[in-house]
Each structure stands twice: as C-alpha cells, then as structure tokens.
Amino acid sequence: MIDAALRYPSRAVPSFSLHPTSPAHLKGSIHPESRGLLTQLKEAEKMGDLDKAMAIRTCLSLDCPLEVEGRVTGWARQLFFDMNAVALGSPPTRGES
C-alpha cells in the first residue's frame, strides 16, 4: 500500500496509518531495539505523551530503529505525521486501553 502511494501520489488517498504494535507486526522475531521501543511507545501512549509517542512511531515505522533518524523525508514523512497525529488524537476504540 505504501509503495503504491509513493509511486502514484496523485492517486493516493490518506486513509491508512502505520501502527507498529499491530498483531501482524508482532509475528516472528522482533529486534531487541524494537522491543524496547515498543515498550516505550506503550508507556508514552499510556501517559498521554503524544510527542514522544509520535517520535517512537516514526522511528519504528518510518525510519527503522537501526537506521539514521530522518531517513524518510519530504511529503511521505509529512503524510506519516499528519495521519498518525489524527490516530493518536482519536479516542480509543472498543478493546483498547
């Protein structure tokens, strides 16, 4: 989905959000660096620290924990911020705590 949005930006509709703690992401092995960041992400979200949660999500989902911060730039990075800001500011759905 992301590949298509990056390849054909005029056809992309901002209707998805990356969530590094989704069940699909947790299958298989997780690098120790990512495991620590997932723990920090849960704590930041629990405490309501949206800036810290956004920074951690960006590292996990966009830049990659083992890469340089800011690896992804431009409109793709801005789209990520815009969409995750909406997701982080939304009330929890049923089953979330």
Helix axes 50-58, 74-89, angle to 10 degrees: 140
Residue-wise pLDDT tens digits, 5-60: 667 666 665 544 455 555 555 555 677 788 889 999 999 989 989 889 888 988 88
Q: Which residue has the tokens 């699909």?
A: 24
Please give the DSSP secondary-structure letter assigned to residue 61: I
Helix (H, G, I), strand (E, B) or coil at 63: helix
Question: What burial class does residue 14 get, using C-beta atoms within 10 Å of its C-beta: 0-12 exposed, 13-18 middle, 19+ buried?
Answer: exposed
Whether the model clears a pTM of 0.75, i.e. scores above it, the answer is no
At 18, list the tokens. Answer: 């990356």
Whether residue 71 contacts residue 64, with contact meaning beta carbons closer than 8 Å, is answered with: yes
